Amino acid sequence: MRFSVTSAILSLAVASAVYAAPTAPVSPQEKPNLVNLEKRGWVMDQLKPLFTKALRTLECGACVSALSGAKGVAYLNKNWVLSAATSLCKSTKLADADVCEGLIALQGPVVIEAVMQANLLKGDGKFMCAQALGVCPVPTVMSGTLAFPKAKPAAAVAPAHSGKIVDVLHVSDWHVDEHYVAGSEAACTKPLCCRKYADSPATPTRAASTWGDYNCDPPLKLGLDMMKHVPTVANVNFTIMTGDVPPHDVWIQTKETALPQEKLAYDVMAEGIASKVYPTIGNHEAGPVNLFPTKTSGGDISWLYNSMADNWSRWLPNDAINSVKNFGAYT
Ligand SMILES: *[C@@H]1O[C@H](CO)[C@@H](O)[C@H](O)[C@H]1NC(C)=O
Ligand SMILES: *[C@@H]1O[C@H](CO)[C@@H](O)[C@H](O)[C@H]1NC(C)=O
């Protein structure tokens, strides 16, 4: 669930929606058009102070006004919004160039869609600014009536305690990184360090140790060692696995990177788990991360639900597996 750098960049993506020009939609491949460029320049001149203020002062009101401006412009041209967001992210050095590019390309379209559908002045704006930048107070929970699928049982009785005590293994937030390289830069400027990146310095300022670093996801070696240790300290009766298997390389995570990472992680975890497992999907399982499209929202997440369901079929009954295939969860 770690999120800070990501949300800061995404809020920048939203904020810089405002730099896009009010022109007919153009694809990035189209030749620059002088009239469009002039309009774009004019919009930037008008709105840049507004956004500079929002990002510099980190004030709630300034953030919401900036979002409102962004929303209007986003209706005119989403592609331009994305490229403007990317260049602003790079020029303000909010993140490394590859992180700006990857994160905005993967998450930006959805963020823009959310802003366009939001009722910014009726509370959504404050909510977004609170979540992304922490600059507004988190809105209080509104009262309302929630319909549960089933009525509460009239006289529920807790089952009697058997008196037996069992060991339960809880595996969560695995996030083991197969690309961890001991000796690489542990104090890097990306959301995840201890990897050999194309722009890594030749000599690290702090070298990643063999067993891990607080700036990094755990090396494979640590994950494997930990799993091998489990049977020596516990007689595990059953395991719960509460999601978040892939590493935090959120600016490059797609279906293509996530699936092999899941496979590898399951292989490693199998070293220490002989028991039955009750697994769940976490926010990091999706590729791109955090995005779980529904059947009606567009996008496709069936690749994740189906692959998890196939693997989990060794532990779960058929009705649970069908439910995982449909919406990624079961009861
Ligand atoms: C789990 O513990 C219960 C209660 O002691 C026992 O009946 C059951 O056989 C155990 N199952 C496994 C797989 O160890
Ligand atoms: C699930 O994953 C484990 C570990 O990678 C593997 O050994 C097993 O064969 C897989 N099972 C299925 C049904 O895919």
**168-190: buried (b, 16+ CB within 10 Å) or exposed (e) per residue?**
ebebeebbbbebbbeebbbebeb
Question: How confident is the model over 114-125, as a mean pLDDT?
Answer: 93
**Residue 167 CA, ligand 1 centroid: distance in Å:** 10
The reply to whether 105 and 236 lie within a common domain is: no
The reply to whether 118 and 222 lie within a common domain is: no
> Which atom number of ligand 1 is nearest to the Cα of residue 276?
13
pLDDT above 50 (res 16): no
> Which atom number of ligand 1 is nearest to the Cα of residue 236?
14
Residue, of 188 and 7, whose pLDDT is higher: 188
Measured from the CB, is residue 306 less than 6 Å from ligand 2? no
pLDDT, position 281 = 97
pLDDT, position 78 = 80
Measured from the CB, is residue 260 less than 6 Å from ligand 2? no
160 within a domain of the structure (yes/no): no
Question: How confident is the model over 225-237, as a mean pLDDT?
Answer: 95
The reply to whether 221 and 120 lie within a common domain is: no
**Amino acid (one-letter) located at 99:** V
Confidence of residue 15 (pLDDT cuts 50, 70, 90): very low
Confidence of residue 83 (pLDDT cuts 50, 70, 90): confident
**Residue 314 CA, ligand 1 centroid: distance in Å:** 18
CB distance 209 to 252 below 8 Å: no
116 within a domain of the structure (yes/no): yes
62 within a domain of the structure (yes/no): yes
pLDDT digits (tens, 9 = 90+) for 302-318: 999 999 999 999 999 99
The reply to whether 290 and 173 lie within a common domain is: yes
**Residue 162 CA, ligand 1 centroid: distance in Å:** 12
pLDDT above 50 (res 202): yes
CB distance 275 to 227 below 8 Å: no
pLDDT, position 5 = 47
138 within a domain of the structure (yes/no): no
What phi and psi, each to the nearest 5 degrees, are found at residue 36? Answer: -60, -40
pLDDT above 50 (res 14): no
140 within a domain of the structure (yes/no): no
Domain extent for 306: 168-180+217-327
189 within a domain of the structure (yes/no): no
The reply to whether 255 and 306 lie within a common domain is: yes
> Which atom number of ligand 1 is nearest to the Cα of residue 237?
14
Cis peptide before 288 (omega within 30 of 0): yes
pLDDT, position 288 = 94
For the CA of 314, the nearest ligand = 2
Residue located nearest, by CA, to atom 8 of ligand 1: 237
Weakest-pLDDT range from 23-37, 64-78, 266-280: 23-37
The reply to whether 172 and 99 lie within a common domain is: no
146 within a domain of the structure (yes/no): no
Q: How many domains does the chain have?
A: 2
Residue located nearest, by CA, to atom 14 of ligand 1: 237
Residue located nearest, by CA, to atom 9 of ligand 2: 311
The reply to whether 9 and 111 lie within a common domain is: yes
- Identify the residues whose C-beta falls under 6 Å from ligand 1: 164, 166, 237, 275
The reply to whether 172 and 315 lie within a common domain is: yes
Rounded Cα–Cα distance for residues 238 and 122 (Å):
47
The reply to whether 124 and 16 lie within a common domain is: yes
The reply to whether 222 and 287 lie within a common domain is: yes
The reply to whether 122 and 231 lie within a common domain is: no
Residue located nearest, by CA, to atom 6 of ligand 1: 237
**Residue 235 CA, ligand 1 centroid: distance in Å:** 10
DSSP string covering 231-282, please? HHH--EEEEEE-S--S-S-TTT--HHHHHHHHHHHHHHHTTT--SEEEE---
104, 132, 160 - which closes a domain: 132
> Which atom number of ligand 1 is nearest to the Cα of residue 164?
5
**Averaged pLDDT of the chain:** 86
Residue located nearest, by CA, to atom 1 of ligand 2: 311
**Residue 275 CA, ligand 1 centroid: distance in Å:** 10
pLDDT, position 19 = 36
pLDDT digits (tens, 9 = 90+) for 173-196: 999 999 999 999 999 999 999 999
**Residue 270 CA, ligand 2 centroid: distance in Å:** 9
187 within a domain of the structure (yes/no): no
CATH number at residue 319: 3.60.21
**Residue 169 CA, ligand 2 centroid: distance in Å:** 19
> Which atom number of ligand 1 is nearest to the Cα of residue 235?
14
The reply to whether 9 and 59 lie within a common domain is: yes
**Residue 260 CA, ligand 2 centroid: distance in Å:** 12
Q: Choose among 304, 215, 313, 209: nearest CA to 261.
A: 304
